[in-house]
A and B are shown apart, each in its own frame.
Chain A
Amino acid sequence: MIKFIAKRLGSGLVVLFVVSALTFTLLYTSSGSIARNILGDQATPEQVAFKEQELGLDQPLATRYFAWLGDSLSGNLGASWFTSEPVANSLATRIPVTMTMVFTAMILIAICAALIGVAAAVKRGWVDRVVQVGAIVGDSIPGYVIGVLLVTLLAIQLGLFPATSTISPGVGPEAWVYSMTLPVIALLINGVTGGAQQIRSAVIKQLERDYVRTLRSRGIGEREILFKHVLRSAAPAGLTVLSLQLIGMLGGVVIIEQIFALPGMGPLAVTATGQSDLPVVMGVVMYTVVVVIVVNLLVDILNGWLNPKVRVS
């Protein structure tokens, strides 16, 4: 198992390196005159030239990339060109907000989708039909629309939750819970409906297999068959779906954070990209890649643990 993990970690690092080099090259060769953007409308050509020198933009691309890489390995991701704030600081204050939201949504999705999916697969009939219809409806409404509806109804009309974030340094856990409730609901609805549908299919597939019939013929109870055998076999499919949803959620969370003005990664990504604040954009990209690698690694490990055959392949 250790060898398996080491192998996966190694390939993760290679991906990280390749993505960083590619992103750096693409960003730095296609972003126009950044110095002009920083200085604004009134800047003279001399000012622009001076700024370019200040930012090191007159250096060859490879020199700049390896300088960035060297600094990054020692934990220094550089500083924002627009605000001078160290990128590592920006990420450190924002990642907890985004990750709290994403992981809370993920746990709720896992629990709800599993309960609903298994219920639909086992009970079939009207329960199943409701889940099927729910999946189509849930999938077709974007998270941000749900977000806006929730704000209008629960925050503005009823005043139960704040319309925008009240999270700031030092606030107690209640502020977090209040600020996160609506965004998390907006994030998880698509996930629950989609996830339940996938888990339902995986469980039905297992229930139709020969070994289930054999177990039943031996007089083993339905409950034991479901929890001890069927769920374990259906788990890898469920895990993969959940991991894909988590990765997809990193995109959805950007819009949700904008709507609720949450100080997470979303607004940082949007502002930095709009301004071509390249050190920050690099930081955001690296964070995203790391999350994706870690999630995939966890899913691989869990699958490997559940099913030893995976480790060999």
Chain B
Amino acid sequence: MSGKTSKRAKAAKIRDVLDTEGAAIESNTQGFNDGRYESVADLENYEALKDEARTIKEDAIERLPELIDKLTATIEENGGTVYLADDAADANAHIESLLDDADADNVAKSKSMTTEELGVNEHLERAGVDVVETDLGEWVLQVAEEAPSHLVAPAIHKSRAEIAELFEDHFDPDVPLETAEDLTNFAREQLADQIAAADVGMTGANFLTADSGTMALVTSEGNARKTVASADTHIAVAGVEKILPSVEDLQPFVELIGRSGTGQDITSYISLLTPPIDAPTFDGDHLGDPDDREFHLVLVDNGRMAMREDDDLRETLYCIRCSACANSCANFQQVGGHAFGGETYTGGIATGWEAGIGGEEAADEFNDLCTGCSRCTEACPVKIDIPWINTVVRDRLNRGDDPGAFDHLVTGLTPDEEPAGLDLQKRFFGNFATVAKLGSAFTPVSNWAAAAPPSRWIAEKLLGVDRRREMPTFTRGTLRKWAKGRESPADPEREVVLLADTYTNYMHVERGKAAIRTLEALDVDVHVADVTESGRAALSQGMVETARDHAEDVADALEPHLDAGRDVVMVEPSDLAMLRDDYRRLLPEETFDRLSTNSYEILEYVYGLLENGADIDALADGEGEEIAYHSHCQQRTLGLAAHTEAILDEVGYDMVTSEVECCGMAGSFGFKQQYYDVSMAVGDDLAEQFTTPETADRRVVASGTSCHDQLTDLLDRPATHPVELVAPEN
């Protein structure tokens, strides 16, 4: 694909970021993420607050044109000016004219992602204005001439020692700077003089309220307060999406933003400023009249009003830039925003922002780092479906400039609905069901061929499948074939239809057999569905239309079973997540609701059966065997890890569980040449937890197929699905 970084170059870039920034990023983001869990646990009404925040944002974006008008009128009434800038050039030209009017040569800024987006600093420096960043992290980056790597903690990729070295080189201080306190004091003193000398204080705004003209600034250092108070002229630059109807609407955000981001219950300062502010000015050697203060708000469109009209990108505008999606992301925790981010924005939501502001291509380089594991969706305080935004943008990138483009000749040859130019790697993994079907039919030739060195070489060259990965082994004979003609329980309590996913049907057939034996032992009559592929593989490659085709096939195949009163049971959590959640985007609402409410993960279902009186003695006895269990990322998001753990415990296994939320494989992600290193880096944490003296000899148990593959690669001992541990012998 022309114009794109090659897979090999991308792999090299990621390896470099992993080596130079990975360690600092990992300890910081994991600290934030742990802090989030702790902090939100203290909040009695956490879920209700998130719902409230979401509702407020939905309403505000819906009413945005009206709110812009209202805010403008309010601020003008308060004595300020408002300018609505179409794009970066427009905003920068206006800001420059405001500085001219104020006769300003020096600007002190508090942290603002929107001014990063616009390139305000570069523009003003070209115009001969001195600009100083006063947030310590931003200042470090200004000195180092680097870009932020994180929405909230922009210099998160730098260690204390690296900052000390930077200051030594740049400032040659009289006394050596060693501790964090030394560095902070040094920075404060440098900045105090520059803030005092500034003619203009420039801030962003986390929120703006249309009813009072108040802006909320969320900070901990106090630099925003100081930049506003020290200069007579205050310029605020904010995206139009920051407007809320009223002051009261701020409350849920104030309670959620710090907790969701860095795990602080609340930051030191929530400044509610209704500028021009009421503090007296610093006027030489005496305090001046507060009425001498001036305020100018620059509201920025820069693509946002178009995002508002875009059904898939609109949700991005609900983002409050707390960084929860970055901190909760296993891949981000390894590489940070310099790999997982665009020109300005970083982390999972960056795809929405960059695509909305700069077009889809602006997200091309990093969009694939979202594996759709969904761990960010419960972390996001405004409940944005971040994986979906990433999927949609991936789909648009696949399609290129012509969204309707289909080459019918090629479409006839490949079983998907994707454009001719689609990357072969994506096509291969997105159509894995077909690969599996063929592979299974031709075993053992296919296994031998997949493992043979020339074939691995071809797979890497052509498809970008990393040669260090072992391709899954196909089995001759599918689960469906095995299940056919089995005798049903004589007097079944219930009937289910097992949707055997591609892996369970063609490769990990043992877990399918175990699922059926388990269900039958609990007096359940099991039918096996005629479909295998849920569409997960296609969706993860951004092949939305192909995924929709699969979803429709699944619905068609399952509906007669549902009509017959059967529940749907699934083994693979990522496929269950399709039915439970992703199908809302792919199928008519009624069909989605029906599939979603009637589908269950195998051990969730077993748990339900036992709760309703089924006899646990029908299951295998764990006999105190020591196991180490890793639940699957999407299983965690669905809230289903506990069911498996409860049953394994109940039947008598001695279990430890992993704290790592994602194994790093994430379907096909870890197979891809360009992401092998980050995948293994994510997996290392899991490997570490399962190789301690306490866990090293335990049997490894995992619920997801890709977790299984990853663990097998990481540990050199096989992994087993939990249902195989509870299934009775036939």
Chains A and B bind each other: no
Enumerate chain A interface residues (CB-CB to B < 8 A).
Answer: none
